[in-house]
Amino acid sequence: MIEQVPLARGTWQLIEQAKAREAALSQVQDVMSKVTGSARDAGSAVSVTVNARGALLDLRLAPHAVEFGERLGHVIVEVAKVAQRSAVQTSYNKVALLLGDELTYAIEQLSGLPTPARAADDDTGLTVEEFQRRREERLRAGGAPEPQVTDATGDDDWASFDPSTLRSDR
């Protein structure tokens, strides 16, 4: 025989919860469309702002960007990828505040756009020491240093701090 367990919530509470989720779901598209991500290379020659879908919103090139020569296009694309990962991560963090982790994970699975913090190819398996050793070898070999790309948010304003960014699994 199946054991019956009473619900902790009544029917009206379940209806209100469903209405609240429906209202939150209606805000998801709006939240995700407003999120942007910015990044720049280590020398601040290239600065890019994109939305979570990768649409270019702003591109700034400093005069010394010409030093990249033929690699400038590649650098712009790499910086834009970092900016997009930042925008995607931020959008999922904001959606999770609306819907909770379970529904946000379901949206992530349906969209096919994984959260950068969970991306399988994000971990190169290199230790910091190994990375530095390989970098020094490239520099000694006379090759031009690879452009380093960093997140360009640079926001130190505590009023805009988003506690959901502390989550490492989203």
Q: How far is CA 17 from CA 11, 104, 151, in A?
A: 10, 17, 37
Radius of gyration of the chain (CA): 21
- Provide long-range contacts, Cβ within 8 A and 24+ apart, for 23-26: 24/98, 24/99, 25/99, 25/103
**Residue 89: which of 4, 6, 150, 165 has the closest Cα?**
165
Give the type of residue at 159: A
Report percent pLDDT > 70 for the chain: 74
pLDDT surpassing 90 at residue 15: no
Query: Does residue 165 come out as left (phi exceeding 0), alpha (psi in the -120 to 50 range) or beta?
Result: alpha
pTM as predicted: 0.58
pLDDT surpassing 70 at residue 126: no
| Average pLDDT value over all residues in the chain | 78
For residue 65, the model assigns a pLDDT of 93
Three-state secondary structure call for residue 42: coil
CATH architecture of 12-154: 2-Layer Sandwich (3.30)
Read off the pLDDT of residues 63-77 as tens digits, 9 standing for 90 and up.
999 999 999 999 999
Structure-model confidence comparison of residues 145 and 133, the more confident one = 133
Residue 101 CA from chain centroid, whole number: 16
For residue 157, the model assigns a pLDDT of 52
Tokens at residue 159, please?
A: 């009023």
Determine the Cα–Cα distance for residues 114 and 107; give it in Å rounded to an integer: 10
Question: What are residue 52's phi and psi, to 5 degrees?
Answer: -65, -20
